[in-house]
Amino acid sequence: MEWTRSETLGLASVQCTTCHGLGLRLVKRDKEAPCNCVLRSIFRICFRRFRQCVEKEKHLSHCTFSFTGGRDRSMSWGRKQEEYIADFLLMVRRLLSDDEYRIFKFHYLLGADWRLCCMKLKLDRGDFFHYVYKLEARLGKAFREVEPYGLFPLDEYFGGTTREVVAFDAPRKGPFPLRPPIAA
């Protein structure tokens, strides 16, 4: 997956000491990778949308008829918010180890603050935040780079624009006249 500066610039933290707000950091001589502040930002955006989907009233959910890419180019019915919740939780469970998942569950899913998490998990404050930042960066990277459809950007997931599909423009027949032509 190729990362560009235009994608990472808006997500980068201005106060980041690694990328200085540019979003990309130099990994090798000619290779750039996204900074951890960008990856954490992607995770936080996805988690915020996850919380919105979970907290939404269930009777407000609706089915959508959406285009499914691929060779067949077919249409399908789906519940995007429920699918997003399931995809988010499945990716988290698949990527994190058991200890990391316990931290994620207590801090993000159950909403415990750092003091309660440190007491319950028997960690000190520094180790707790080290784990939190590390798992946010790992999950943010995975949400963006999962193939064929990532959880981020959200507009692509929820049926807005897509990168692979080009919109169809109907051919124009020329300018339309303002008034009908005069017969001679």
Sign of torsion over alpha carbons 132, 24, 46, 141: negative
Instruction: Provide the token pair at 15.
Output: 């106060």
Q: What is the mean pLDDT of the chain?
A: 81
pLDDT in tens, 111-142: 999 999 999 999 999 999 999 999 999 999 99
How many angstroms separate the CA atoms of 113 and 103, rounded? 11
User: If we measure between CA atoms, which residue out of 183, 154, 168, 28 comes closest to residue 81?
Assistant: 154
How many angstroms separate the CA atoms of 75 and 103, rounded? 39
First CA to last CA across the chain, in angstroms?
63
Identify the structural domains of the chain with CATH numbers, from first to last: 5-157 (1.20.140)
Which band of pLDDT confidence, cut at 50, 70 and 90, is reported for residue 163?
A: low
HSE (side-chain half, CA atoms, 13 Å) at 154:
17
pLDDT in tens, 77-109: 667 788 889 989 999 999 999 999 999 999 999
